[in-house]
Amino acid sequence: MSDDQIVRNCAPTLAGIKTGSLFNVSISSDSDFKKDIISFNRSMREKGVRIIPLKICETYALIYLYRPDMLGRDLSDPMAAGILKRFGYSLNSSDSCVAGLVRRLKSSPMFPHEIGLFLGYPPADVDGFIKSPNEGFCEVGYWKVYSDAEKARRVFKRYKQCTEEYGRMLRSGRTLEQLVV
pTM of the model: 0.93
Is 144 among the domain residues? Answer: yes
**Beta carbons within 8 Å of 163's beta carbon, 6+ residues apart:** 7, 8, 11, 12
Looking at the structure of the chain, the number of domains it has is 1
Is 181 among the domain residues? Answer: no
Is 25 among the domain residues? Answer: yes
Is 71 among the domain residues? Answer: yes
Is 13 among the domain residues? Answer: yes
Which structural domain, as residue segments, surrounds residue 18?
A: 3-176
Pairing type for strands 50-56 and 139-140 reads: unpaired
Q: What is the pLDDT of residues 52-111, one digit of tens each?
A: 999 988 889 999 999 999 999 999 999 999 999 999 999 999 999 999 999 999 988 888
Is 8 among the domain residues? Answer: yes
Q: What is the pLDDT of residues 101-157, one digit of tens each?
A: 999 999 888 889 999 999 999 999 999 999 999 999 999 999 999 999 999 999 999
